[in-house]
Amino acid sequence: MNNHPFFKLPLILTMASFVISLSIMFSLILLRSHGTIAGFFEMFAITIGLFFVELPKLLLLIVLAVFALYRYAINIMTVKNILLVILVAIIINGFVLLFNFFALPLFIQFYSYIEQYYDPIITASFQLVIAVCKYFITAIVAYGSIVILKNLFDHDVKSQALQQYGSVRIHLILFLLLFMSILTLFLIPILLPILQNTIPYQNYNMAVINLFSLIILVFTLTFAIKKSFNYAFSTLQIAKIIKSVIFVMIAAVIVNCIVSVIIILIIKEVPYYYFNYNLILLLLLLIGVLQLIIICGIARVFTKRYFSATFNATE
């Protein structure tokens, strides 16, 4: 897969978008600090922090760019194509900047009215709403820009054939990227307080555990579904990738909610004096493992249905 340009233009678009976003942030910092540049370690911390906050959008951008560029047979590396995807990155950041200047103050003004009733759930919901808005702005502008500029790109219809490029691996990667993009989006309310150093000390360990759990989930999920992707499609199955990710997300949320309710009802029947710190940690670990197994099991079922030779060879 590394020998073909299938992912190269999307990666260039994503990297350009991040660099432009980072440049805008540093420019704003310089303006607010009257030209005083931050120290190296502070700049490094800002870069890492922005990367994690932007991660859902960056992952989404790779997937959407692959979909759009593939749809219009734009997979060849030329100077014109590279310049055009950089232009798309500029357009995306321009719209996000407009959102930050005009729409974001309205959100902040609304939040200031309810801030007096401070509640962690309200704060998390506020941060999530803003993240989701920017997420959809990125999606709409990125795809729309490529569609509008499609006639300016250099095209190669032959690049739409996937067998030579590793169809199985491409579909697996795109599924994981889209799944991780949606999943990390809902971790923004957990991540922001850590990066801003505003999280209460007693909640810091739980937040770090949640982020660490995400890493475990990604590796475990990859191992669980890898063998489900064993059918080489001749064309990119965009609809199947989107539907499988959405169905896995919905089914995993529903099943985990049902399991969590059942566990809570069972725990309520146990006298409180049986519980101690070690037992609670053990229960949380077992619940986490159970949820991990459920998510991987559901993902395996859906990916096998959409991407295995068993179900697709006869279609």
Q: What is the pLDDT along the chain (315 residues), one digit of tens a residue?
A: 444 567 899 999 999 999 998 888 877 777 766 655 555 566 666 677 778 788 899 999 999 999 999 988 888 889 999 999 999 999 999 999 999 888 887 777 776 666 555 566 666 777 788 888 889 999 999 999 999 999 999 887 766 666 655 888 899 999 999 999 998 888 777 666 665 555 554 455 655 666 677 788 888 988 999 889 988 888 889 999 999 999 999 998 888 888 878 877 877 776 666 666 677 777 777 887 888 888 899 999 999 999 988 877 655
Per-residue buried b or exposed e for 104-140, using 16+ beta carbons within 10 Å of the residue's own CB: eeeeeeebeeeeeeeeeeebbebbbebbeebbebbbe
Q: How far apart are CA 72 and CA 146, in angstroms?
A: 9
> Do 109 and 37 touch, CB atoms closer than 8 A?
no
Q: How far apart are CA 107 and CA 240, in angstroms?
A: 35
Torsion angle defined by CA atoms of residues 190, 261, 202 and 280, in that order, rounded to the nearest 10 degrees: -130
* Residue 175: both structure tokens together: 């599924």
* Residue 14: both structure tokens together: 């994503």
- pTM for the whole thing? 0.86
Q: How far apart are CA 284 and CA 299, in angstroms?
A: 22
